[in-house]
Amino acid sequence: MEASMPKRKEPGKSLRIKVISMGNAEVGKSCIIKRYCEKRFVAKYLATIGIDYGVTKVYIRDREIKVNIFDMAGHPFFYEVRNEFYKDTQGVILVYDVSQKDSFEALDGWLAEMKQELGPHGSMENIIFTVCANKIDCSKHRCIDESEGRLWAESRGFLYFETSAQTGEGINEMFQMFYSAIVDFCENGGKRPLTNISISFTKEQADNIRRIRNSKDSWDMLGVKPGATRGIVRSPFQLLKETLTHMHCSTRGYFQ
C-alpha cells in the first residue's frame, strides 16, 4: 500500500495531515509537543500510556493546516498499541535525548519498527522525518554531539534540530520547518520539491565518516592492523576526501 496523500477539499485551501512522534521512553516527545501547542513545560515525568491524540491548526504561507498529532508511548510495553498508528502518516517527529546514548542508538530500531508495521507494500519515501536532538539544556551530561546527530539525520534525508522542551529552544523553528516541508511535499504532488533538496551522504559514506570519527587510534582510523605497510594504508584524510568527493545531492538516500 502506498503511503496515502493527505485529504484536502480544494487546492490551496485547508489541508489535513497526520503526524506521529517516535523515540524511546522519557526522551521528551510529549514535552516537545506540549511546548509547541500549549507553550508550557512539565518537569514531572508522566509516561504516555499507549497513545495521546491531539488536533491543532497551523498556518503555513497563509494556508490552514489541520494537524492530527499521535504522540506515541516509547516504552516497549506499548508496542501492541503503537503499531496500529503508523499507517497513513505524512510526518514523523523522531526524538532522542542528547544525554542518553541508548536513545540515539535506538533510532534505527524505531525506523525498523515503522517499516515493519507499514508492511512490504508500505513506503517511507513519502514521509517527512524530523529528528529532534532533545534536552540540549542538559549540556553537562551531553554525550551525543551535534555533528554526530546531524550526520545520522541528514545522511537519511531527514531534517535535524537541536531542541529543548524545557527552555523552548529550537521547538518553534523545528515545527515550522517540519510543517513547511510536509506542505511543500503535498503541493508538489507527492514529489520532493527541488528547493528542498539537501546535500546528504549515502549510508556507506556516513558509515565511513562515523567510523573515522569513532576510531580509537590512528590504525583503527585507517581501518588496518597495527604495522600495516605503506601500500595498503590510505590516509584518513584521503578516505574522508574520497567520501566527500563522492558526496551527492539526494533527497533520500537511506530507504531507496
Q: Tell me which residues touch ligand GTP (CB under 6 A).
A: 23, 25-31, 42-48, 73-75, 134-135, 137-138, 164-166
114 binds, among ligand GTP, Mg ion, none (CB under 5 to 8 A by kind): none
Cβ closest to ligand GTP, residue 29 vs residue 156: 29
Which lies closer to Mg ion via its Cβ, residue 48 or residue 90? 48
Residue placing its CB nearer to ligand GTP in the complex, 6 or 28: 28
Q: Residues 172, 175, 181, 186: is their CA dihedral positive or negative?
A: negative
| The dihedral sign for the CA sequence 97, 155, 169, 17 | negative
> Of the two residues 50 and 168, which places its CB atom closer to Mg ion in the complex?
50
Residue nearer to Mg ion on the CB measure, 48 or 100:
48
> For residue 213, what is the enclosing H or E element?
helix 203-214
**Do residues 127 and 90 touch, judged by C-beta distance below 8 A?**
yes
Distance CA 229, CA 231 (A): 6
Contacts of 104 (CB under 8 A, 6+ apart): 96, 97, 98, 144, 148, 149, 152
CA dihedral 238, 239, 245, 250 (to 10 degrees): -170
Q: Can you give the length of the chain in residues?
A: 256
In whole angstroms, the minimum distance from the beta carbon of 195 to ligand GTP comes to 30
- Which CB sits closer to ligand GTP, 42 or 143? 42
Beta carbon of residue 134, minimum distance to Mg ion (angstroms, whole number): 12
Shortest CB 52 distance to ligand GTP, Å: 8
CB of residue 94 to ligand GTP, shortest distance in Å: 11
> Which residues contact Mg ion (rule: CB under 5 A)?
29-30, 48
CA–CA dist 212, 239 (Å, integer): 9
Minimum Å gap between C-beta 204 and ligand GTP is 31
Rounded to a whole number of angstroms, the minimum distance from the CB of residue 148 to ligand GTP is 18
In the list Mg ion, ligand GTP, none, the entry touching 77 (Cβ below 5 to 8 angstroms by class) is none
Q: Which does 239 bind (CB under 5 to 8 A by kind): Mg ion, ligand GTP, none?
A: none
Q: Whole-angstrom distance between the N-terminal and C-terminal Cα of the chain?
A: 16
Our CB check for ligand GTP shows the closer of 31 and 107 to be 31
* Inter-residue contact 49 to 1 (CB < 8 Å): no
CA distance 143 to 122: 34
Q: Smallest gap, in angstroms, from Cβ of residue 167 to ligand GTP?
A: 7
Residue 50 amino acid letter: G
Task: Residue 37: count other Cβ atoms within 10 Å of its Cβ.
Answer: 15
